[in-house]
Amino acid sequence: MDYVYGPGRNHLFVPGPVNIPEQVLRAMNRNNEDYRSPAIPAMTKTLLEDVKSIFKTTTGTPFLIPTTGTGAWESALTNTLSPGDRIVSFLIGQFSLLWIDQQQRLNFNVDVVESEWGRGADLDILESKLASDTAHTIKAICIVHNETATGVTNNLATVRKIIDAYQHPALLLVDGVSSICALDFRMDEWGIDVALTGSQKALSLPTGLGIVCASPKALEASKSAKSVRVFFDWNDYLKFYKLGTYWPYTPSIQLLYGLRAALDLIFEEGLDDVILRHKRLGTATRLAVEAWGLKNCTQKEEWYSDTVTAVVVPPNIESSEIVKRAWKRYNLSLGLGLNKVAGKVFRIGHLGHLNELQLLGCLAGVEMILKDVGYPVKLGSGVAAASAYLQNNIPLIPSRI
């Protein structure tokens, strides 16, 4: 059953799927149940209420869709827009590219705003587009909060500020797949109309839930949106929400209990402390990269991502060799460079159920691999830089004080 056994734990540092806490594995270790019994609706009700807090929304309506992030994207678009609608969409890496591809294939009129990979969304162009769009032809702005391919975090507060400056009515649709539950994310405050994530990212569950949250304005838009949809139709959900049975089709019982456990862990740690932990992990990783004399794919500090770091390798090194070697020799799973940055970067995912010593083990591994592939790294240098920061910043574990 284990195709490629290696001794000891696998060190999982891809930017998703991420490590699942034992508490969640336990919660999911169960037989199926009749989802039409009173038990599942009762649990679903509290899940829907509690899941709002990870979006920082009180007015949003969440949907727990048995799908992946790609499906969550499709849900966000087809429920709020009609074919031919004009969208402004930012292309800054592989995942925003894939979303744009989907937008185009769903027949929207996509106004692509491209940045160099490693840079954030070009908000000046957004501003100029909104400024000139007095006719309000732009129906939606689509932005990836955190581009997982390059480790770039966009500034959503600024996006909202720009939209507001022009009092533009466009919907703001945000891919929070590698940000929600890990980065500062404020759906209500930032006026996000649809936010979405996947269970296998910072929530630290298996793949299988696309979690989508719609603002009242997005729900209103869904009433007139003409995109064809059935499986992803919010209205089917809303109909069952009203009935109190909640599910238009069979949910995964295991993922519901898993989500319950995952939320409980986040609440126990405190969402803000979870975010601070990711800040520590991101900072430590960047300090190590700097100590190794390597460059972060992310070009400016304002875009640094606390969930994933794409490390640029020297031209004489093929980054996929690093990833292969990590797996073959160290039982370490790193992220490949994708598309435009294939061969040029490797990625360290540092999100989800993860702590500092796990990260330091990974960083120690990366150092050895760099040496393996001929990069003249000083062993221990990255760990030293990261440790110096962490040793000053790790808090005591509250339950153990």
Select the span of 112-120, 159-167, 215-223, 364-372 touching its own copies (CB under 8 A): 364-372
CA distance 397 to 268: 11
Cis bond before residue 169 (omega within 30° of 0): no
**65: which DSSP letter?**
E
Chain centroid to CA 89? 17
263: amino acid identity, one letter: L
Complete DSSP assignment for 144-203:
ESEETTTTEE--HHHHHHHHHHTT---EEEEE-TTTTTTS---TTTTT-SEEEEETTTTT
Total chain residues near its own copies (CB under 8 A): 121
Q: Comparing C-alpha atoms, which of 303, 314, 369 is closest to residue 343?
A: 314
When asked if residue 29 is in the footprint of its own copies (CB under 8 A), the reply is yes
Select the span of 84-92, 142-150, 301-309, 330-338 touching its own copies (CB under 8 A): 330-338
Q: Comparing C-alpha atoms, which of 80, 77, 76, 49 is closest to residue 62?
A: 49
* Cβ distance to its own copies smaller for residue 234 or 303: 234
- Mask for 239-258, x = binds its own copies (CB under 8 A): ---------xxxxxxxx-x-
Q: How far is the CB of 286 from its own copies (least distance, A)?
A: 16
* Cβ distance to its own copies smaller for residue 191 or 382: 382
When asked if residue 20 is in the footprint of its own copies (CB under 8 A), the reply is yes
CA distance 296 to 291: 11
Per CB under 8 A, which of residues 159..178 are in contact with its own copies? none
Q: Which of 58, 167, 224, 391 binds its own copies (CB under 8 A)?
A: 391
CB 369 within 8 A of CB 330: yes
Select the span of 56-64, 113-121, 157-165, 360-368 touching its own copies (CB under 8 A): 360-368
Helix (H, G, I), strand (E, B) or coil at 306: coil
Per CB under 8 A, which of residues 80..99 are in contact with its own copies? 83
* Cβ distance to its own copies smaller for residue 171 or 287: 287
CB 90 within 8 A of CB 113: yes
When asked if residue 390 is in the footprint of its own copies (CB under 8 A), the reply is yes
When asked if residue 272 is in the footprint of its own copies (CB under 8 A), the reply is no
Q: Which of 82, 109, 207, 299 binds its own copies (CB under 8 A)?
A: 207
When asked if residue 66 is in the footprint of its own copies (CB under 8 A), the reply is yes
Q: Comparing C-alpha atoms, which of 200, 175, 196, 144 is closest to residue 14?
A: 200
Q: How many CB atoms lie within 10 A of CB 285?
A: 29
Q: Which of 87, 180, 192, 261 binds its own copies (CB under 8 A)?
A: 261
Q: Which of 155, 290, 358, 373 binds its own copies (CB under 8 A)?
A: 358
Q: Which of 31, 58, 224, 316 binds its own copies (CB under 8 A)?
A: 31
When asked if residue 329 is in the footprint of its own copies (CB under 8 A), the reply is yes
105 is in an annotated binding site: no
Annotated binding-site residues for substrate read 347
